[in-house]
Structure 1
Amino acid sequence: MTAYWLAQGVGVVAFLIGITTFFNRDERRFRLQLALYSAIIGAHFFLMGAWPAGMSAGLNSVRTLISMRTRRLWVMALFLLLTLVLGLAKLQHAMELLPIIGTLASTWALFRCRGLTVRCVMWCATACWVCHNFWLGSIGGTLIEGSFLVINGLNIIRFWRMKRRGIDPFRIEKRVQQETPSAR
């Protein structure tokens, strides 16, 4: 098996893990699954030789886990700075800016937003990753991010419609937040 196909296989594993991430209405499970997916897709990008994307995905994984414990601005700023420094350090092509931009947007969303707003910002960040992954030739990465784009988009519409009917689609999320002390 060549290194290329090993890398593509890791990407497909990430695809299988990540495919149901955006169905979660429970914020904790959503973030845990997103962190696992990010770690595996990060390994895929490193194996593909896409260092800025690998670093962004690796930071995504750690950042997602930490955002479950705190939403402090200095922690968010640290992850924004790390994304810029580590991502730009190995930049070789303008298309490699897309995962950095996507990571910056999703970092902001995970630290500053809740519910439907998180998913809307994540949808925009996902669009950046889809374009990058297609350009890179990442089969698993393009499949998963393309799937995220469709699934998250459909869930955004579904959740928005629920809110219009007076139903809070993130009721579970609010109960968990009330049980956890504020980290601000």
Structure 2
Amino acid sequence: MLELDFAQGVGLFAFAVGASAFLHQNGNKFRLHLTIFQVILCCHFILMGAFTAAFGCGISALRSYASTQTKSKRVMWFFIGLLWLMGLPSLQHSYELLTIFGASVATWALFQAEGIKLRLLILFNSFCWLTNNLLLGSIGGTLMESTFIIVNLYTISRMFMSKKTI
């Protein structure tokens, strides 16, 4: 049976913060909220001793924050390159390519997209991670991405409906 300790509590808190990020309709607030989520998740992985995952979350936090400060394609390509440079050598299964590809699409979205398009591309990333987590057998990761998908779809529908009424 899994033990609920401080590290797991931080992970559950990160899950709640992450899910609530998808409620934002404002792109910049969404990006900043994702940054906070990724920092908390990074702390969770450090407490769990999962330093590779912590490193990945740290890069994601920096990427999300950078996307609030600049839309520079150079910065975007730096983060995409970093994802592939760090990710490819650590692949253990072919389906893990989905996480690198999905994160690359999400990086492009954070730097180049807004509104519903941003959310749809992030949704694609969530489906990539959900598939990875299902194939990996990660219950927590599957629940997290499933929740992100549901909340993101809810927000996309709200954004779409508010556009229709204008």
Q: Distance in 2 between matches of 1:100 and 1:79?
A: 11
Q: Is the 8 A contact 1:56 1:99 kept in 2?
A: no
**RMSD of Structure 2 on Structure 1 (CA):** 2.7
Query: Equivalent residue for 1:79?
Result: 79
Per the TM alignment, residue 50 of structure 1 is displaced from its structure 2 partner at its CA by 8.6
Bigger shift: residues 121-130 or 28-37: 28-37
Query: Equivalent residue for 1:154?
Result: 154
Query: Equivalent residue for 1:12?
Result: 12
1:75-113: per-residue Cα shift (whole Å, max 9, x none)?
111011000001112111112222211110100001111
Q: Distance in 1 between matches of 2:20 and 2:14?
A: 11
Percent sequence identity over matched residues? 36
The SS at the match of 1:71 is coil
Q: Is the 8 A contact 1:38 1:61 kept in 2?
A: yes
Query: Equivalent residue for 1:25?
Result: 25
Which structure shows the higher helix fraction? Answer: 2
TM-score of the two chains, using structure 2 as the length reference = 0.84
Bigger shift: residues 72-81 or 93-102: 93-102
TM-score of the two chains, using structure 1 as the length reference = 0.77
Bigger shift: residues 24-33 or 133-142: 133-142
The SS at the match of 2:111 is helix
Q: Distance in 2 between matches of 1:136 and 1:103?
A: 17
- Note the residue ranges of structure 1 that are not aligned, 5 or more in a row: 167-184
Q: Distance in 1 between matches of 2:114 and 2:88?
A: 29
Query: Equivalent residue for 1:180?
Result: none
| 1:91 matched to 2:91 | yes
Q: Distance in 2 between matches of 1:91 and 1:4?
A: 29
Per the TM alignment, residue 4 of structure 1 is displaced from its structure 2 partner at its CA by 9.9
Q: Distance in 2 between matches of 1:100 and 1:44?
A: 21
Query: Equivalent residue for 2:113?
Result: 113
Q: Is the 8 A contact 2:134 2:142 kept in 1?
A: yes
1:18-52: per-residue Cα shift (whole Å, max 9, x none)?
1211111233321121112123334556748594x
CA gap 1:42/1:91 in 2 versus in 1, 3 angstroms: farther
Matched residue type, 2:63: R
Query: Equivalent residue for 2:36?
Result: 36
- Note the residue ranges of structure 2 that are not aligned, 5 or more in a row: none
Higher relative contact order (CA 8 A, sep 6+): 1
The SS at the match of 1:85 is helix
